[in-house]
Amino acid sequence: MRECPAIIAALPREVEHLVRGWQVQKLPGRVTVYTNDFAVTVCAGMGAARASLAVQAALSVRQVTALVSVGLAGACDPGLRGGDIVRAGVVIDSQSGERFMDSRYKQVLVSAPVIASVQEKRRLYASYSASAVDMEAATVARMAEAHGLQFQAIKAISDDASFELEELGRFATHDGQFREAAFAMYSVARPRLWGKLVGLAGNSKAAVQALTAELETQINWYRQRD
């Protein structure tokens, strides 16, 4: 069978450069599917429930052979900086304690139910030697296992271990989206946030660029095997 990876991201901005020129399909429930001849990419929002929807959408449009959880993540390891790539050798569900292994790599990625605070990042680093924390990888790994598919998690660091912006969580919606316009309006009136936001914007840009380069390499590998 021809190999075809399904790239599962939370928000379109995380993969917007990767999927330029791909076919786009909007599904009910704010699920966006991008396809080309070699892969499918799905964005359905942040969190476990939305990641599950994204995987289901990918399986409905293509006969995929691998699930790849991608996107931006927060650093737990103080040595990581914005734009660094994390390739997870272990994915841990912080709520159930489940572990999903990929023997090719060594870094630890923990999936949490909410955006992690600095205190939580420190706890995850101390408890699991976690490199980074996200909100979706464990769900994608669990579904890959259930469907007998290969699994990989590739994350790019958007905020370092000491970065905290408590306001971010309140702009996440029930369906896993982020109200960017509302957050921008909120931030304009609060100069104390401006420095942090400039830093986050720069790190996020670097992270998306690094993630795009990494995923293009992955897709080229599949293309060469065709």
The amino acid sitting at 67 is L
Two tokens, residue 199:
């830093």
Cα–Cα nearest to 216, from 11, 15, 3, 62 = 15
Specify whether the CB–CB gap between 69 and 136 falls below 8 A: yes
Residue 165 has pLDDT above 70, yes or no: no
Two tokens, residue 78:
């103080």
Estimate to the nearest angstrom the gap between the alpha carbon of 92 and the chain centroid: 14
Contacts of 128 (CB under 8 A, 6+ apart): 92, 108, 110
E strand or H helix at 181? helix 180-188
For residue 75, the cross-strand partners are 132
Question: pTM of the entire structure?
Answer: 0.90
Residue 120's pLDDT is: 95
pLDDT tens digits, residue range 117-126?
999 999 999 9
Q: Which domains does the chain show, CATH number per domain?
A: 5-225 (3.40.50.1580)
Two tokens, residue 32:
């966006």
